């Protein structure tokens, strides 16, 4: 497995166009990964709510608890 530094050095050997394409690919993959994490978090929160381990609350109630 390559180190981060080796990967950066390899990327520097690419043409500018190839580097731009690489950046675009990485940005899309990161976006996909973040969306998948968010979907999983929402799925887990819904399961917790359904199981009664949490309850719905308003933003006002949340702020009151934060300020105390």
Rounded to the nearest 10°, the torsion over CA 35, 37, 43, 46 is -100
pLDDT tens across 4-63, in order?
999 999 999 999 999 999 999 999 999 999 999 999 999 999 999 999 998 888 999 999
CA distance to 42, 54, 56, per residue, from 64 (Å) = 24, 17, 15
- Contact between 8 and 2 under an 8 Å Cβ cutoff? The reply is no
Q: Spell out the residues 6+ positions from residue 45 whose beta carbon is closer than 8 angstroms to its own.
A: 54
Query: What residue numbers bound the domain in which 54 lies?
Result: 4-67
Residue 15 CA, chain-centre distance (Å), reads 29
What pTM, to 2 d.p., does this model score? 0.68
- Total number of domains in the chain: 1
């Amino acid at each position: 497995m390559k180190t981060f530094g080796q990967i950066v050095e390899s990327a520097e050997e690419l043409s500018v166009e190839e580097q731009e394409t690489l950046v675009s690919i990485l940005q899309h993959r990161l976006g996909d990964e973040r969306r998948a994490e968010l979907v999983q978090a929402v799925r887990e929160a819904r399961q917790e709510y359904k199981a009664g381990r949490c309850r719905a609350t308003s933003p006002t109630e949340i702020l009151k608890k934060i300020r105390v």
